[in-house]
Structure formats: C-alpha cells, structure tokens
A and B are shown apart, each in its own frame.
Chain A
Amino acid sequence: MTSERDTILRVRDLSVDIPVPSGTLHAVRNVDLSAIRGRTLAIVGESGCGKTMTALAVMRLLPGRARLRAREIGLEGTDLRSLSDKAFSAIRGNRMAMIFQDPMTSLNPVYPIGDQLEEIHIRHRGSGRREARERAEYLLARVGIVNPGTRLRQFPHQLSGGLRQRIMIAMALMCDPALIVADEPTTALDVTVQAQVLHLLKDLQAEFDMALILITHDLGIVARIADRIAVMYAGRIVETGSSRQIFAAPTHPYTQGLIDCIPYPGKTERRTALGSIPGIVPSLVGDAPGCMFRNRCAMAEERCRDGGNVERSVEDGHSYRCVHPVERLRGTMVPS
C-alpha cells in the first residue's frame, strides 16, 4: 500500500457544471481520484465523457463559464481550492504540468521553441536566460531530440508532430513537477510515433519519479502502462480498479464494451466485426437519475432507471456503479 506521503494528488467529489442555454450541463459528476508518486493512473472513456474536463478542473484551466465543486483537490498536501488564481499559477507548470492532445496547435507559432521552454523556468525558478537555456537543452536531449541547440532556435511549424510532442513533454518537465497530466498525448500522432512517445513518457516517469495521469479513449494503450484505471462515462467514473483487475474482471457493461473494442492479434478472429458500442451518449444537460448507460446496455432492466449510481465494491481497490450482481456479469461475460 502507498503511504500518505506518496499520494501526490487527491481529488474527492469533483463536479463540473457548465451553464448552457437549455439548462446546466453536468460535465463531471462526483469524481474521486488519486495519483501516486511513480505510478500511472489512466482515465479512459469516449470523447465527451468528462475526462478532459476533469483534468482541466484539476489544473484550473476550465473554460470561463464552467463551475467547479469539490470536497477536496489536494496536491502534495496543499488544498488547491483555497489558492488565489495568482498563487495557483505559481504551482501550474511548476509542481504539476499538463501535456495536450494536439502538439501542432499547442505551441505558439510566432516564438522559437527555446523561448517557450525557457520562460517556464524563468517564471517559476526566477532563473536567468542562460540557466533556463541549459535546462531546456538538457531536457530536449533527454526526450530524444538530437541537436537540441539548433532545435531551440527553430519555430514550431518547422518541426514534425512527433518532435513537437517531445517538446511538449520537455516543456512539462522544465520545473521537475510532481504530477504530469497527459491529455490524449498520442492521439494526434502517427501510429508509428505513438508507441515511442508513450514509452518515453513511461521512462521519464520512472526517472523523475512523478505521478502520471494519462487521459485516453483507447483502452488498448492503457494496458501496458497504467497501474490504475478509471473508466468514465457521461461524467461519472463507472468503474475503477488496478489495471489487472479491470482487464481480468471487467464489471461494468461499459468497461466490457470498451475491452471488446480492442483488437488482439491472434486472439480476435479474422473477419469478425470488432466490437463497437451502439447507441448515442445521452445529453448531460439537466438532472438525470439512474444509470446513464442504460440506453446502450443490453442488460438494462427497470431498476436501472433510478438505481445504478451507487458505488459498489468487487474487492479491495476495485469498484463499479451498476445494479447488476457481480456474479451474473462474471458468469455471462467473462467465461473462466
């Protein structure tokens, strides 16, 4: 078990509401999560499930209209909710950093790479330009970029997507953060580059002894690098557990559906359709009691209409929100 000291981030009962013309959109509901030093937490779900909103809420980067509620958002023992915007900005990019999905648009086109890296160090460490440049060069080399000195003088449009994402990673490491939140860091990249970037992240995590939150829609890439997995659907975490628990015994029908979508070489028979989950994601506007997955769930019953949001535990560290008895699910879906 991990000690209290190793829990870098602890979030309890986080909700994000966005006022829209037709009511209130509940983007995130009652989310609990924690990130542990040296470990990777993967948040998995379809687009629009609230996973990015959760990350932005932790980073206090939510769009202006969004309203955040939480019982606790603690980073290394500091309650982030109590900080002023000014105090918060001193932590962002410093103790925790974020890597975004699209490296093509996440860098400022009119400034050289070096400038965009150095300004972080200058801001948080109060260092001089030369010291910041040394740090930037070291990190570029560390993320596998050759000729870092030359690259630093180049502009974003002169670099490939893979290189830019490496730069985004170096950028996140500038101040040696305790936590990195990576939001779909490989989605915009070529398939061949995706694996390299993921491995790089994993290596760096070990080297810098950081907590990593990896946000992705692809359960497949998670299997290899996540320690814990949280599956989100329609703003809620519907199942959470260790990577082994989730893959060995998926309990929520939605998790099962996601696993069915992963192609396994050799295992998935040729010409069988890859799994996909039919149906539409419900609107998140307004109050919606009951399980939000019920319209897409083959096992839905009458009681799903009002039940299903209570957290139940399978075993230690593995919980889910569904009304169905665990045994029945096990019995029907994971023949042993």
Chain B
Amino acid sequence: MGRFFVQRLGVAVLVAITVSIIGFALLRVSGDLAADLAGEDATPAEIAEIAALYGLDRPLHEQYLTWAADALGGDLGQSLFTNEPVMDLILERVGVTILLSVYSLVLALGIAIPLGVLAAIRANTSIDRAALGVAVFGQAIPNFWFGLILIYLFGVLLRWLPISGSSSFAHFILPTVALGTAVMPALMRLTRTGMLEVLEADFIRTARAKGLRPGAVFFKHALRNAVLPVVSLSAVSLGFLLGGSVIVETVFALNGIGLLAYESILRSDFPVVQSILVFVSLAYIVLTLASDLINARLDPRIRLG
C-alpha cells in the first residue's frame, strides 16, 4: 500500500507541474503581456521597458521557473485590472466558492444516496423508473438556465428567496440547487449500480442465510460496499464543482472565484485567470489523492493489501 501511494503521489506532482505549465502557457498565448501592462497608448520603448522590468524579455522557460518559484512562495503576481495581488483577490473570494461547492455536494449526496439505494432495492419498479427520470432530468437540464428558472420562480413570482449576492445562507439556496442538480445524477447512478451489484453478491446471500433482518442486510452489509466508489466520485465531484461553479456564480452574482475568473476573462486579466485555473486544478489533484486515502480507510482490501 505504501508503494501504491508513493506512486500516486508521484503522478499527482507530475500532473500538477504540467497543469501549471499549461496555465503559464495560456497566459503567454493570450497576447503581449508587456503591452497590456504598459497600457493602450504606450510607445514601443515603454513596452520594452516594462518587459525588461517584469523579465518578459527573458527565455520562456526562465520566465516559467521564476513564475513558479514566486507562486510557490505565495506570490501569484498582480491583477492587470486592479493592480491588487492575485493571491489576495483569490483568498478574498475562495470561501464563497468552497461553501457553494460543499453545499451542492451535500445536497447532491443527500438526494443521490437514498434515491440510488431505493432504486436498487426496488429495481425495475415504478420507483426505480422515477429515480431514473430524476437522473435524466438532472443530467439534461442546462444549469445556467435552471438557475434562471429558479430565479424567476422563487425570486420573482414567489419572492421567497434572494436572487443575487452571497451575504446570507438564504443566498446560497438557489445556487446550491442549480449546481447540486448537475452532479447529483452521476452520484445516484453510481449508488444504484453499486447497490445492485452488491445485492447480487454472494456475501449478501450469506447475510440473508444468517437470518439477519433486512435492515442489517441492506444497510450494514450492502450499503457499505456500495458507497465505496461513491466516496471516490464525491471527491472528484467536489473538484469539478470548484471549477464548474463559474456558471452558477455568474447567474446568481455570487462573489466567488468563478465569478472572478469570468470577469477576469472578460477584461483579459490573465494573471488572475491563470492563477484560478492552476488553483482549481491543484485542488482537484489534492482531492483525488484524498479520496484514495479515504477509500483505503474504508476498504480493508486496500488498507491491509
């Protein structure tokens, strides 16, 4: 098991480096950074001066290494738009995104696991078909549009909930529903197939042959095995939510890093965009590693090899 994790860690570090290179490259293909920094009416001489000042005249690999070293030290550069340090901008807003992602995941799991289990226990009945319908619905509904519909229904027609901003828990409800709906179907399908597979397993027949009560058979013996893959997918989903929240944050004017990324893209503030990209990727990499560790805790076959 030790070897397995060292290997995993190695791959993760390699992937992280690659992602940072891609982020860096994106910044460079986006245009002439020195010209952007110098402003619109800068003369070529001024641009060259800026380039020299920021080291933009040096070879690309040197620039990358400098950037990466700074980034590791917590210096992600400055916003071209506000001139604030990018790190401050991100830290200011990341809390909202994390909160939204966690709420959405909790909501998705809260629906996906009971529904998936129920669909598996009542496989091929109308309950199962209804659960499948919910999954198909959640998978197909465009979440930016769903967000607008929620705003119209609950914010405008019924006036129950605030429709933009992030100042209270109530502000998070509609965005959470919109975003949670997007990740719920995959989690539910996985719970259902996992549970169906486990229910067919020999050890479930053993549990029934032992005369255990249905509750013990389903929840003690089946569910624990069925949710193992769901745990992995949850970690992956959280990573996806951190990056995917951009749409919902935009629709609901929720002031997280997704909205920051979107605004920065619109005003070509690439140091910010690049930093958010790398940040979200790293979060994903860390989360998948964490999911391996959690799975090892839950599954003695991995833990004890």
Contacts and interface: CB of A to CB of B under 8 A. Distances in A.
A–B touching in complex (CB under 8 Å): yes
Interface of A: 59, 61, 89-94, 97-98, 100, 102, 105-112, 119-120, 123-124, 155, 157-158, 168, 171
Nearest 6 Cβ contacts at the A-B interface: A93-B211, A93-B210, A92-B211, A105-B202, A155-B300, A108-B203
A62 to B, nearest CB: 11
Given A102-B202, A119-B216, A123-B216, 15 more contacts: A89-B208, A89-B212, A93-B211, A94-B211, A105-B201, A109-B225, A109-B301, A110-B225, A110-B298, A120-B211, A123-B210, A155-B304, A157-B301, A158-B304, A168-B206
B211 A89 contact: yes
Given A89-B211, A92-B208, A106 B202 contact: yes
Nearest to B222: A108
B208 A124 contact: no
A105 B203 contact: yes
Given A108-B221, A110-B300, A157-B300, A119 B212 contact: yes
B207 A108 contact: yes
B8 interface: no
Interface size range on B against A: 20 to 34
A124 B209 CA distance: 12
B197 interface: no
A119 B208 CA distance: 12
B210 A109 contact: no
A102 to B, nearest CB: 6
Contacts of A124: 211
19 contacts: A61-B208, A61-B209, A89-B208, A89-B212, A91-B211, A94-B211, A100-B209, A108-B206, A108-B221, A108-B225, A109-B203, A109-B225, A109-B301, A110-B228, A110-B299, A110-B300, A120-B212, A157-B304, A171-B210
A59 B210 CA distance: 10
Nearest to A174: B210
Contacts of A123: 210-213, 216
A90 B221 CA distance: 18
A164 to B, nearest CB: 11
B224 interface: yes
Contacts of B28: none
Contacts of B214: 89
B129 interface: no
B159 interface: no
Contacts of A106: 202-203, 205-206
Contacts of A119: 210, 212, 216
A186 to B, nearest CB: 16
B304 A100 contact: no
Given A155-B304, A157-B300, A110 B209 contact: no
B183 to A, nearest CB: 25
B206 A97 contact: no
B205 to A, nearest CB: 6
Interface string B132-163: 00000000000000000000000000000000
- Among the interface residues B206, B299, B304, which one has the most CB atoms of the partner chain A within 10 A? B206
B205 A61 contact: yes
A90 B207 CA distance: 13
A97 B206 CA distance: 10
Given A109-B225, A110-B225, A158-B304, A120 B203 contact: no
A123 B228 CA distance: 26
A100 B203 CA distance: 10
A109 B204 CA distance: 11
Contacts of A112: 300
Contacts of B203: 105-109
A98 B148 CA distance: 58
A93 B213 CA distance: 11
Given A109-B301, A155-B301, A93 B212 contact: yes
Contact of A90 (B202, B209, B211, B301): B211
B221 A100 contact: no
B216 A107 contact: no
Contacts of B213: 89, 123
Contacts of A157: 300-301, 304
A92 B224 contact: no
Contacts of A59: 209
Interface string B210-232: 11111010000100110010000
Contacts of B304: 155, 157-158
B193 to A, nearest CB: 18
Contacts of B228: 110
B268 to A, nearest CB: 52
- Among the interface residues B208, B211, B213, B298, which one has the most CB atoms of the partner chain A within 10 A? B211
Contact of B210 (A111, A120, A155): A120
A155 B301 CA distance: 8
Given A100-B202, A100-B205, A119-B216, A109 B211 contact: no
B107 to A, nearest CB: 27
A124 B228 CA distance: 29
Nearest to B206: A106
Contacts of A105: 201-203
Interface in B11-54: none
Nearest to A92: B211
A100 B205 CA distance: 9
Contacts of A111: 221, 224
